[in-house]
Structure 1
Amino acid sequence: MGFEGSTLVDWDAFGQARSELGAGFVRILGYFREDGVKSVAAIEQAMRAESAAAMVIPAHTLKGEARQFGAEPLGALAETIEAIARDCVELQDTPEVALEHIVKLRPLFSETLTLLEREANPLVARKPQGGGFGRKTAHY
C-alpha cells in the first residue's frame, strides 16, 4: 500500500478511543478484527457476484468501526466503496467501478490492523522516554 504507518492511524483518535473504552478496549479491538475480516470478505464476495446491494452494509460497518479507532484511510476507502455501491443500487447498475477500490481494501485493512494491534498490545516494548530506572540520562 502507499501509506506509511504514521498516516494509517490518527493516534490521537486511537488514544481517545482507548481512553473512552477503558478496560473493554482490547476486547472491542478484537471485535473490530473479527467484523473487519468478515466485512472485507463480504465486500469481495459481493464484487465477484456483481451485487452492489450486498456491499453496502459491510462497507458501512467497516467505515464506522475503522473510524472509531482512528483508521481514517481505511474508513475513507470503505466509505468510497459504500457510496459507489449505494449509487449502483439506485441506478440498478453493477459495481465494476468499485473494483479498483476493493483491490486495495484487504491490504489496507491488514496493515492497519497490524498497527492497531501492535499499539494495543501491553507487552510491546515501548521506546524509553529518557532516563528511568537502570537507564543513563544524558548529561551535557
Structure 2
Amino acid sequence: MSFEGSTLVDWAAFSKARAELGAGFVRILGYFREDGVKSVAAIEAAMRAQNATAIVIPAHTLKGEARQFGALPLADLAERIEALARDCVETRDTPEAALEDVVKLGPLFAQTLALLEREANPLAERRGVAGFGRRQV
C-alpha cells in the first residue's frame, strides 16, 4: 500500500485538531507516537500468537487516535483490523484473515507519523490559508 503524502492525512482535520488542542498539540502528537508504536507492536505480537482478542483494543486505540489527527487511511486500516478481530472473537476463530492488513499497518503508521511530525515541526513551512492578502498554497 503506497500513498502520496497528500492522501495519508486530511490536512483540514489536522489543522482543526491543531487549533482545538492549542499549546498541547505537540504533546498529544507525542502521545500518538508512543501509543501508536505500542499498538502496532501489540497487534503484530497478537497476530503472531493468533490471538484475536489481543488485537481488538490496540486496533481500536490506534483507529481513534489516527482519526483525531486526520490520518484517515491509517484509521480505516486499524478499523478493518479491529472489525476482523472482533468477528474472530465472536466466532472463536484465529485472525489469520487479517494478516495482509497487519503487515501493511507498521509501514503505514511510520509514513503517516513522519508526515504528521514534519507538519507539526515549528520550523516547517506552513500550508497557506486563503484570506485577505494571502494566496492559497
Give 1:111's aligned amino acid. Q
> Compared with structure 1, are the counterparts of its residues 92 and 123 closer, same or farther at alpha carbon in structure 2 (3 Å cutoff)?
same
Q: Show the counterpart of 2:15.
A: 15
Alpha-carbon distance between aligned partners in 1 of 2:76 and 2:54, rounded to the nearest angstrom: 19
Alpha-carbon distance between aligned partners in 1 of 2:7 and 2:68, rounded to the nearest angstrom: 16
The unaligned stretches of length 5 or more in structure 1 are 130-140
The unaligned stretches of length 5 or more in structure 2 are 130-137
Alpha-carbon distance between aligned partners in 2 of 1:81 and 1:122, rounded to the nearest angstrom: 34
Give 1:63's aligned amino acid. K
Which runs of structure 2 are paired with 1:95-114 in the superposition (5 Å)? 95-114=95-114
Considering only aligned residues, what root-mean-square deviation do their CA atoms show, in Å?
1.4
How many pairs does the alignment contain? 129
Q: Show the counterpart of 1:74.
A: 74
Q: Verify: 1:31 aligned to 2:31, yes or no.
A: yes
Q: Show the counterpart of 1:45.
A: 45
Alpha-carbon distance between aligned partners in 1 of 2:102 and 2:128, rounded to the nearest angstrom: 39
Deviation of 1:123 (Å): 1.5
TM (normalized to structure 2)? 0.91
Give 2:25's aligned amino acid. F
Give 1:110's aligned amino acid. A
Alpha-carbon distance between aligned partners in 1 of 2:70 and 2:30, rounded to the nearest angstrom: 15
Q: Is this contact kept in 1: 2:50–2:95, CA < 8 A?
A: yes
- Counterpart secondary structure, 2:104: helix
Q: Is this contact kept in 1: 2:119–2:126, CA < 8 A?
A: no
Which runs of structure 2 are paired with 1:115-134 in the superposition (5 Å)? 115-126=115-126
Alpha-carbon distance between aligned partners in 2 of 1:123 and 1:76, rounded to the nearest angstrom: 30
> Compared with structure 1, are the counterparts of its residues 23 and 128 closer, same or farther at alpha carbon in structure 2 (3 Å cutoff)?
closer
